Amino acid sequence: MSNNLSSYPRPLQFLNREVKEGPRLLKRLPDGVEEKPYTFFSIKPLTPIIGAEIEGLDLSKPLAKEVQEELNRAFLEWKVLFFRNQAITSEQHLAFAKLWGDLEVHPFYKPASQEQAKEIVQFSRNQKQGGSENVWHADVTFRENPAKASVLRLVEVPPVGGDTLWADMAAAYDNLPESIKKQIEHLKAIHDFTPSFAHLLQPDELEAFQREFPAVEHPIVRTHPETGRKTLFVNSSFTTHVVGLEHSEGEQLLQYLFRQVHVPEYQVRFRWEVNSIAFWDNRATQHYAVSDYYPHIRKAERAAIIGDRPF
């Protein structure tokens, strides 16, 4: 298979065209999966395809096996679940996250104190700084095994603003033109922490981290390991270039693919309250933390579950 874009069915200039108005394919469930009711909790969809609030569960208490199984089904079907009024501790937060797998330790975010568990990442934006997570991304795709999922809990919220958005990357893939799908089917891209985190490090630290976390190669189209759906797996935080393409060609393709997250039909936007929790599938989504609340404070804690190697 040639890696020269000129050999593909549609010309490269197609990538620069504006997307026209019209219907989009919005599919929440994988092909062959029938919608079924939930019996252990109620669910409040926030959009037709992504994002739902779960009502009737207390996350401070252990979940029975059958409840966890049904919650996992909701997680896979809605891609991001929201829970309100969950006055849980950091320990209970970790206990809930551990239900879904082993937890990762983020290499660049250190515990806020000696008492805080190393698996907890605290995002605290004070009155001297605004938020810096306002870029579309999936978590730690620079790892060989990017995070499977994340659990984020808001401890302190601004009076207004500070929302987070998630985008459904399966819907983004579904709605690509067939010529683009064919073009990217077997392509891979490089993911690297350096563009996002190098500014936090001294030169000797940067070299050490680059040895420990060298840039990795992931498929541009990922197959979800549990649902089997194809998802678009590139993001503007960590994806640096396309393997086998000239820089200008690869950059033009990546910029086109990056723009897919901006389509409102693929998105859900969540208004935080104190003790709200979001639990999202990092394999199927990207997210964006809106930085519109300065100089107010937004304080959050996150735990992430270790994932598998994308294929």
Q: Which residues are part of the catalytic machinery? A: 137, 139, 287, 302
Omega within 30 of 0 (cis) for the link into 107: no
Residue 14 token pair? 């197609």
> Cα-atom radius of gyration of the chain, to the nearest Å?
20
Q: What are phi and psi of 266, to 5 degrees?
A: -95, 0
Phi-psi region of 79 (alpha: psi -120 to 50; beta: other; left: phi over 0): left
Q: How far apart are CA 63 and CA 158, in angstroms?
A: 31
Pick from 292, 300, 301, 297: which is nearest to 125 by CA? Answer: 297
CB 30 within 8 A of CB 176: no
Q: How far apart are CA 146 and CA 192, in angstroms?
A: 12
